[in-house]
Amino acid sequence: MAAFLYRIGRLAFRRRWTVALVWAAVLAAVGLAGMTAPEAEEEPFSMPGIESQEAFDLMEERFPGAAADGATARVVFVSPNGEKVTASENKEAVEAAIAELGDGTQVASTVDPYESGAVSEDGSTAYTTVTYKVDAAGLTDASRSHLDESLEHARDSGLTVEAGGDAMEDMGGPSGTAEAIGVSVAAVVLLITFGSLAAAGLPLLTALIGVGISLFAITALAGPLGLADSTSTVAIMLGLAVGIDYALFIVSRYREERAKGRTAQEAVALATGTAGSAVVFAGLTVVIALAGLSVVGIPMLTEMGLGAAGAVVVGVLIALTLVPALLGFWPNAILTRKDRKARRAGGAPRETRKVNGGTRWASFVLRRPLPVLLAAVAGLGALALPMTDLQLGMPGDEAMSTETTQRRAYDALAEGFGPGFNGPLTVVVDVRDADDPKAAAETVSGRIGGTEGVVSVSPAQFNESGDTAVFSVVPTTAPTGQETKDLVNTIRGDRPGIESEAGATFEVTGTTAMNIDVSEKVQSALVPYLLVVVGLAVILLLVVFRSILVPLKAAAGFLLSVLAALGAVVVVFQQGHGADLLGVETTGPIMSLMPIFLVGIVFGLAMDYEVFLVSRMREAYVHGERPAQAVTSGFQHSARVVVAAALIMIAVFSGFIGDSDAMIKMIGFGLASAVLLDAFVVRMAIVPAVLALLGERAWWLPKWLDRILPRVDVEGEALTRPAGPEAEPAEKDLART
């Protein structure tokens, strides 16, 4: 592997114009394809294999056109000062508002709350539903402005008027603020790390090129493959992070080799052969983790994982080819100012420092490995403890800021009609085989209506053929409450008796039931996903490090960090500790997809740090250093760069904490916490402590396994064996390899 990548780096250096033009052509071609591609249609969220999805599919089949994709706005009217919305003056204001709302060019229909019974028992609250001819993405700015103006005019009458529904969603897409923050912080970190504008700018430039190629490719494929917007968002986030990191490690190794007196070409080739090998295997672990999301069986997660995996592959290819080519254009600009001055003056190059912050920290850990290990494990264990209280769900408008009209509409409906009104259950009854379809539907409706925890049941509505009925069930509790989940399970548990009595079958769906089913499916898929991803990564690391204990230690450390990060998420977003500091106004269940999403992304990034850090230790050990010396050497050369890479990752993810969307805020906090804990506690403390305690045993591998495992030479042993930086024997040795 190292010899092959050595030749790749040397070739890219020599043929730098060709390499640069090829990547420019790729960017132009993919960019043209992306810009000319037809706009992708938004695919509805689906979750194969769960009851609520099957019931929804049955509704679409039996009620063609009823489940239209038109956007809706649910407008809530609350009377002032204890008045009734049925009072003549308030009623006139409500009806005038509904008439104005219905005048929109894209409005399909509005509902009069006084005719439909959409008035609360105490008469304080009423609501209407505005249905549009197009989906939320198809609403024009004029329609959105008309909706906002109608709400303002209604408020002028003295009524409190709020609105929710997908018509109120901001469809402008991501603002790019988080990415801009991440790039800005990354530039500062790189400048501090390298002390050179050129060295700091090169990783940013190549990362942006990689992100551009990935983004345009996803845009071009979005239409034919039906990719969601979230696919490109995750690809940008990870492509930017790993693209900077991978280029960072190549450039850092190049500067190290130049400091040893090697020519630019040889330094590029050696950097690509050694650090490039670590980049390849680090990239493979990320790809395994992301592609493994397809195991979960959620189409949206599969798309996100494969899209991000593609972005990582592009980042690896750019690091191995374009970065060496650009180093060929500016071989000395990447060096520190002192080195450039020394070379212009004809002086000797500055030797790599033997003692730095990395070596001092490694020495500290090596002197007291057991206390450091116990303190780190205890700290992560304490953070992970709240994980036992993890509750999954899909937060809706109730998780939004109280400054939003959607949240205020949610609260008004809950106060006027009860907390369960915001999350009704939908029951679909299949009466094809029933002797009396109406009687069968009434039996199902009556039995469910008599279940404890049910407020009301709407009259059953039949389709044209009369073989399917649908009715709504309003619980007494909020959509995300544990009591509502228990109610759904109770109704489904009573199904055999109800179906036997009615002579018909039924299924429970609706947003609330869908969220419950999604949470249960994700929880059941988490363990198989971990087994597949961690198992494959352990095998890969076994080949890389030729050790049994090092890969197992890497996997165990990752589990500690991800559990601790999830515990931190529970503490803030579920239990509410420190929520005010992050602008979290309402606590509740953790987003269903959060744990598996966090595991997938963080596992790949954690293995990045593991490969970069431990590969230098392995390299030193293979070249004759004692285990303790090898740990110190690894930290001397890699600690500063790993810290810089982690800070860049944390900056990119932390940018999302400032988002107004509670789910985006949760994802940003979870990812930033996981990287912080994994990089600075696991990789910087637990890894050297464990290796110090294991000593020679850390690199033990049974002879029979050593014989059958392929040799990839990540350490670059074939490159450093000959004497002299560019000795002729090295060329022959590489040719034989």
SS3 710: coil
Instruction: Give the pTM.
Output: 0.78
Per-10-residue mean pLDDT, the chain, length 737: 88 94 95 81 68 86 66 88 88 91 86 85 89 80 89 90 81 56 76 77 89 89 70 80 86 86 89 87 84 80 86 94 93 75 59 71 92 94 89 71 82 88 88 89 91 88 88 87 89 92 90 85 82 82 86 87 90 83 72 81 78 83 86 86 83 74 77 89 92 90 86 66 42 37
Which amino acid does the sequence have at 254? Y
Q: Are β-strands 590-591 and 392-393 bridged in parallel, bridged antiparallel, or unpaired?
A: parallel
- The residue count of the chain comes to 737
User: What does the pLDDT read at residue 716?
Assistant: 62
Pair of tokens at residue 474:
């309003």
Which residues, 6 or more positions from 551, have their beta carbon under 8 angstroms from its beta carbon? 537, 538, 539, 541, 542, 545
Taking alpha carbons only, the member of 337, 335, 288 closest to residue 605 is 288
SS3 456: strand
Give the whole-angstrom CA distance, residue 317 versus residue 310. 11
Taking alpha carbons only, the member of 404, 417, 398, 357 closest to residue 640 is 357
Give the whole-angstrom CA distance, residue 602 versus residue 609. 11
Give the whole-angstrom CA distance, residue 340 versus residue 333. 8
User: What does the pLDDT read at residue 731?
Assistant: 40
What is the C-alpha radius of gyration for the chain, rounded to an integer number of angstroms? 30
The total of other beta-carbon atoms located within 10 Å of residue 716's CB is: 27
Give the whole-angstrom CA distance, residue 536 versus residue 530. 10
User: What does the pLDDT read at residue 375?
Assistant: 95
Give the side-chain half-sphere CA count within 13 A for 55.
23
Give the whole-angstrom CA distance, residue 237 versus residue 650. 11
* Exposure string for 4-37, b = 16+ CB within 10 A, e = fewer: bbbebbbbbbbbbeebbeebeebeeebbeebeeb
The total of other beta-carbon atoms located within 10 Å of residue 169's CB is: 14
| Cβ atoms 79, 85 nearer than 8 A | yes
Can you list the alpha helix ranges (DSSP code H) found in 393-510?
405-417, 437-449, 482-493, 495-502
Q: Cα 28 from chain centroid? A: 28
User: What does the pLDDT read at residue 290?
Assistant: 85
* DSSP secondary structure letter of residue 684: I
* Exposure string for 228-267, b = 16+ CB within 10 A, e = fewer: beebbbbbbbbbbbbbbbbbbbbbbbbbbbbbeebebbbb
Which residues, 6 or more positions from 690, have their beta carbon under 8 angstroms from its beta carbon? 369, 373, 553, 698
User: What does the pLDDT read at residue 203?
Assistant: 87
SS3 156: coil
Give the whole-angstrom CA distance, residue 689 versus residue 397. 46
Backbone phi and psi for residue 85, each to the nearest 5 degrees, phi listed first: -75, -10
Give the whole-angstrom CA distance, residue 730 versus residue 401. 64
| Cβ atoms 462, 441 nearer than 8 A | yes
Taking alpha carbons only, the member of 714, 572, 720 closest to residue 274 is 714
Taking each helix axis as running N to C, give the angle between helix 549-569 and helix 511-545, from 0 to 180 degrees, rounded to the nearest 10: 150
